[in-house]
Amino acid sequence: MERFFCIAADPAAESAAAHWCAKQGFALIPHNVRVEAQTDGVLIALDRLSPDRVARALQTVPQSATSAITLGLSLGQMAFDPAMIARFDALADLNDPPSLIRARLQAARRRRALDAEIAARAQSFLRFGTTFHQPDIQQNPSTALFFGPPSPEFLRASHRLQSFGVQITAALTAGNAMDLLHGQHFDAIAIGLGPEPQGALQFIAQVRRNRAAFDIPIVAIDVERSDLLQEALARGVNDALVTRDPATIARLMAAVERYRHTKSRRRALAQNRPAAVMDLASGAFSRDFARAHLDALLRQGMPVHVLIVQFSAENDPNGACVDYALPQIASIAHQLVRAEDLLFRAGRDAFGVVTSSGPAAVTEIEERMLGIVSVTAFDRPDGARAGQIFARTLSLSAADLDSLMIQVTEWLRPAIF
């Protein structure tokens, strides 16, 4: 169960926030309770809180929650102040469905994990005598793709975004929208599902299957049916907004800027791969660097999770087939990890993944890795009689480096470190 430290204007607001958390399956920690354990987030009930009071309230957050996400909650008595939106990792109100809340929180956690990864890698690089080149700040104009029926509200939203300097490109059909995605770069997609939503839903699924565009934020506009919103979220929509909300444009702008922020950090992580910290045979990071990096993440107080994947083949006692297939195995591993995860060579026949994104991220990588390995026809050396290559995995988390080393050493030979 996720735990949120609560900040509210008064006991009535705190009670309403606690009721909302219970419906979402969250545990709420009252503001006057001393927090000893790591919390998952800070929930601020915005009703009757001015921007200055929000800023002061955030200064009272306990140390165990300072790396957690901040969630702004409207209890129904106030609209979101556009000037306050940038202060929060995610926003919610009483009428938002749980699936939408989960989507927003998941995106917020990934952004926090990405920032933590950047900081930890910079520290780890210094220990190896090299420099981590920080993300560049993009200067080119923001861009957004608007796809859907040209309703007055939809057009008004696009025009307002243009007034803030966002370059808008419109598409009326799914085919036209996909052609535009293949030929241009976009920082966000705003989609109107309209009275006949199947084409839009198919477009969402196509975007999420497209490797070049799968991580672009998709925001559904003015979805009135709850079942339609649920299906859109299942297909890959990241958020849903209504044009009658005065804060909608500010929230769309925030989505654009967050994506640009995220993209620049992913690009920096992909480009910073000096030989001093790499295992040159596989293109993954080295064992020694992984150890230093784990130490840096743990010193930040981040929740660290590690996945170890060891490969073997039937009738291959010397591991010759696994050695021969190493380039293929490494290629699969590189494709399955995200930019904010660290892939490293754990041993002759093993790879590891370090992430601070939580156990769900580890489970996803593990399931995809095992599934792909089970159906891949790996290259074999001439005359080899070994059977299919398969993998076994170890998934774990630890609060300190020593306990992590002990657990992995007991499971894997040769040891990870």
Domain positions in the chain are: 3-95, 143-270, 275-411
Hey, which CATH number is domain 275-411, 1.10.10.10, 3.40.640.10, 3.40.1350.10, 3.30.70.270?
A: 3.30.70.270
Report the alpha-carbon distance of residue 39 to residue 5 in Å, rounded. Answer: 7
Give the containing element (helix H, strand E) for 329: helix 326-336
Question: What are the tens digits of pLDDT across the range 308-353?
Answer: 998 888 777 778 888 888 888 899 889 888 888 999 998 888 999 9
Residue 381 has pLDDT above 80, yes or no: no
**The tokens of 309 are what?**
């994947």
Report the alpha-carbon distance of residue 47 to residue 394 in Å, rounded. Answer: 46
Task: Tell me what pLDDT residue 414 has.
Answer: 46
Phi, psi of 394 (to 5 degrees): -130, 125
Instruction: Decide whether 3-95 matches 143-270 in CATH topology.
Output: yes
Residue 385 has pLDDT above 60, yes or no: no
**The tokens of 47 are what?**
């009703």
Task: Tell me what pLDDT residue 116 has.
Answer: 86
> Reading across the β-sheet that carries 304-313, which strands appear in turn?
278-279, 284-285, 342-347, 350-355, 304-313, 389-398
Give, rounded to a whole angstrom, the gap between the first and last alpha carbons of the chain: 33
Give me the architecture of the 3-95 domain, per CATH.
3-Layer(aba) Sandwich (3.40)
Task: Tell me what pLDDT residue 130 has.
Answer: 92
Report the alpha-carbon distance of residue 153 to residue 365 in Å, rounded. Answer: 40
Report the alpha-carbon distance of residue 311 to residue 281 in Å, rounded. Answer: 16
Give me the architecture of the 143-270 domain, per CATH.
3-Layer(aba) Sandwich (3.40)
Judge contact between 267 and 132, C-beta under 8 A.
no
C-alpha Rg value of the chain to the nearest Å: 23
Question: What are the tens digits of pLDDT across the range 120-160?
Answer: 999 999 999 999 998 887 778 899 999 988 888 888 888 88
